[in-house]
Structure 1
Amino acid sequence: MLKTLLSFFIFISLGCVVIEAQDYIDRQGEITFFSYTSVEDIQAKNNQGLSSISLETGDIAVRILMKAFVFKKSLMHEHFNESYIESDLYPEATFLGKIIDFNQDDDEQIRIIKGDFQLRDVSKPFEIKSKITKENNTYSIEGELEVNIEDYKIKVPKLLSPNIAKTIKVSFKFQYRPNEK
Structure 2
Amino acid sequence: MGAALYSVKVLRDRGVAFHVVVPVDDLGLTNKDAKTVKQIVGFDSDHVYLLSDAKKKVLEGNTELHNALTYSNNIWIPIALDSYGATYIAQNFIDAKSSGRKQFLQVFSRRIAESLEAELHEDCTCHVSAGIYPFSECKVTSRKEREPLAQIKASKGGVKG
More strand by proportion, 1 or 2?
1
Structure of higher RCO (CA pairs closer than 8 Å, 6+ residues apart): 2
Say which one has the larger Rg.
Answer: 2
TM range (shorter): under 0.3
More helix by proportion, 1 or 2?
2
